[in-house]
Amino acid sequence: MTLKSVQAVILAAGKSSRFKTGKTKLVEKICGQEMILYPVSLLVDLKLPVTVVVGFQKELVEKTITRQFSHDVTFVHQTEQLGTGHAIACSQSTWTRDHILIMNGDMPLINADIVKKLYERHIQKDAAISFVTAHNCDPSAAGYGRVIKASDSIEIIEAKEFKGDTSESCCINAGIYLVKRTFLEENIQDLQQSAIAQEWYITDLIKIASDKKLGVETISASFDCIRGINTFKELWAAEQIKKSEIIQHWMDHGVHFSIAHNVQIDLNVTIGTGTFIGSGAHLLTGTKVGKNCTIDAFSILKNSVIKDGASVLSHCVVSNATIEESAEVGPFAHVHEKSIIQEKAVIGNFVEVKKSTVGQESKVKHLSYIGDAKIGKRVNIGAGTITCNYNGTDKFKTIVEDDVFIGSNNTLIAPVTIKKHSFCAAGSTITKDVPEHALAIARERQTNKEGYARNLRKPKTAKESDDKEATQPFFAAFKSNDFKNNSETGI
């Protein structure tokens, strides 16, 4: 369905004072996407020309929108925040089509069906102005404008002006209006400033149309779809709704959630069928998870690609990284900054991989740091191995070629290349390239001092037992002066 002769205006200039952050609420995120982008993307998808009225922190709002919709949106400036009626008046120079769809910028749960239904009713009834209502008697809805209907009149009374009982008057104004351009042009100047709020209310247009016996139409929508976000409490409630919509969508597409209610899945995430998502997992902006993957409890994935059959076990952080088919990461691993874990590779506990590639079937299973490195295929990196990639000024690369075995507790001082099929003995500090098929050993030879251990544990004299320090064999050895210096004891 095309919404012919309609253009849209989104009101996004307000001060967001009820958020109490000093920052515009319109860039607060809901499921990873800024609040203002929900109505903007909805209206751009409906192929409507969109004008956004900006004012308070306009650069921030404009930047957020143009980052995603550089060509589809124009901006007008409301220099002073004098209310929604004043805001729409500021957009007058952009009105060209026959009907103007006006929407508050703070309603992220709105959907296309509501807009289409409003359009159908407005056109069918040839109304001057049509708007969306919802039903809510809850005190938490006390801030909404009340829709007061009588046999031959209709008006919206703003919360600040409303004297009646809000639990009796449960019909509220959603904040979406479709207005004939001619009606708007002829009546926008007649709005009066509210004596209480010192603002011009867009909602007074309803009474103006009603008093002139021009057609006013309403459609009703579910309250959850039209929630306006004025406070952090309302933001939280809206995010719960959006989150459960997203999770139910993926459930319908064959994704298995163990404890769905504490999982976070952002809006622009994709998940393949047969994938398991554990309790408390966070799949954040830009993440793509393939088919039959496991994302276990409390792992956080951001802007990463997890290919088919891969597993991210519990308590991992994976950001800006790729985990290829059937690879395994975790538990307790950190893979980030463009790292690639190739097919069937294994990254185990307490391993950090930064700006590195770990090749097919390679293993880094315990307590390691792999930074600025390229690890080939079928490599084993022993526990506690560290790539020393940084000298305080510059970063250097470590290259470990295919089929290399690095024993435990190696220190690989970059730049360094460990060539194919070579072997680095445990505990080595590797400073030079290792040739193909070589064994590198770079550690202090062991010396055994025969009998020295007895001196460390010699029987206590009565005096030494009285001496607190001397009760510890370590200090006793020093006091007894049996050893000439530290280098001899190795302490």
Annotated catalytic residues are 366
Of 50 and 123, the one with the shorter C-beta distance to ligand UD1 is 50
Residues near 309 by beta carbon (within 8 Å), at least 6 away in sequence: 290, 291, 292, 293, 325, 326
Q: Least distance from C-beta 32 to ligand UD1, angstroms?
A: 20
Q: Least distance from C-beta 201 to Ca ion, angstroms?
A: 12
Q: Are 81 and 56 in contact (CB under 8 A)?
A: yes
372 is a contact residue toward Ca ion (CB under 5 A): no
397 HSE (CA, 13 A, CB side) = 10
Q: Are 18 and 231 in contact (CB under 8 A)?
A: yes
Print the binding letters for residues 202-241 with Ca ion: x by CB under 5 A, - otherwise.
Answer: --------------------------x-x-----------
106 is a contact residue toward Ca ion (CB under 5 A): yes
Q: Which of 228, 278, 309, 382 binds ligand UD1 (CB under 6 A)?
A: 228
* Cis? peptide before 331, omega within 30° of 0: yes
Q: Least distance from C-beta 180 to ligand UD1, angstroms?
A: 19
Say if residue 156 is exposed, middle or buried (CB neighbours under 10 Å; 0-12, 13-18, 19+): buried
Residues near 337 by beta carbon (within 8 Å), at least 6 away in sequence: 319, 320, 321, 354, 355
78 is a contact residue toward ligand UD1 (CB under 6 A): yes
Q: Which of 30, 123, 172, 293 binds ligand UD1 (CB under 6 A)?
A: 172
> According to CB under 6 A, which residues from 234 to 263 bind ligand UD1?
none
Of 106 and 199, the one with the shorter C-beta distance to Ca ion is 106
Q: What are phi and psi of 106, to 5 degrees?
A: -105, 35
Q: Categorise residue 190: left if φ over 0, alpha if ψ from -120 to 50, beta otherwise.
A: alpha
105 is a contact residue toward ligand UD1 (CB under 6 A): yes
Q: How far apart are CA 356 and CA 336, in angstroms?
A: 9
Q: Which of 82, 89, 132, 424 binds ligand UD1 (CB under 6 A)?
A: 82
Q: What are phi and psi of 413, to 5 degrees?
A: -90, 110
Of 161 and 464, the one with the shorter C-beta distance to Ca ion is 161
Output the residue with the shortest Cβ distance to Ca ion.
228
**Residue 294, strand partner residues:** 276, 311
Q: Are 26 and 11 in contact (CB under 8 A)?
A: no
Of 82 and 412, the one with the shorter C-beta distance to ligand UD1 is 82
94 is a contact residue toward ligand UD1 (CB under 6 A): no
Which of 65-73, 173-181, 258-266, 374-382 is the region at the interface with ligand UD1 (rule: CB under 6 A)?
A: 173-181
Of 86 and 307, the one with the shorter C-beta distance to ligand UD1 is 86
Q: How far apart are CA 491 and CA 486, in angstroms?
A: 6
39 is a contact residue toward ligand UD1 (CB under 6 A): no
Q: Least distance from C-beta 79 to Ca ion, angstroms?
A: 21
Binding site for ligand UD1 (CB under 6 A): 11-14, 53, 55, 78, 81-84, 86-87, 104-106, 144-145, 156, 158, 172-175, 201-203, 228, 230
Binding site for Ca ion (CB under 5 A): 106, 228, 230
